[in-house]
Chains A and B, each alone.
Chain A
Amino acid sequence: KAGVTQTPRYLIKTRGQQVTLSCSPISGHRSVSWYQQTPGQGLQFLFEYFSETQRNKGNFPGRFSGRQFSNSRSEMNVSTLELGDSALYLCASSPWDSPMNTEAFFGQGTRLTVV
Chain B
Amino acid sequence: AQSVTQLGSHVSVSEGALVLLRCNYSSSVPPYLFWYVQYPNQGLQLLLKYTTGATLVKGINGFEAEFKKSETSFHLTKPSAHMSDAAEYFCAVCGTYKYIFGTGTRLKVLA
* Interface residues in A75-112 (C-beta closer than 8 Å to B): 90, 92, 96, 99-100, 102-109, 111
Set B90, B98, B101: member contacting A56, Cβ < 8 A: B98
Do A90 and B32 have beta carbons less than 8 Å apart?
no
Interface centre among A42, A58, A100, A107 (most CB of B within 10 A): A42
Interface size on B, residues (CB 8 A): 23
Task: Give the one of B34, B36, B45, B101 with max A CB within 10 A.
Answer: B101
Interface residue range, chain A = 20 to 34
Q: Which residues of chain B are near A105, meaning CB under 8 Å? A: 46
Question: Chain B's nearest CB lies how many Å from the CB of A107?
Answer: 5
A26 interfacial by beta-carbon distance below 8 Å: no
Contact B98 A42 (CB under 8 A): no
CB-nearest residue of chain B to A4: B43
What 16 new A-B contacts, CB under 8 Å, besides A103-B34, A107-B43?
A33-B99, A35-B101, A42-B102, A42-B104, A43-B99, A45-B99, A55-B96, A55-B97, A56-B98, A92-B99, A104-B46, A104-B99, A106-B36, A106-B45, A108-B41, A109-B43
Chain A residues within CB distance 8 Å of chain B: 4, 6, 31, 33, 35, 42-43, 45, 48, 50, 55-56, 58, 90, 92, 96, 99-100, 102-109, 111
Between-chain CB contacts (< 8 Å), 8 pairs = A4-B43, A33-B98, A42-B101, A55-B97, A90-B43, A100-B51, A100-B52, A108-B41
B-side residues, CB < 8 A to A, are 32, 34, 36, 41-46, 49, 51-52, 90, 94, 96-104
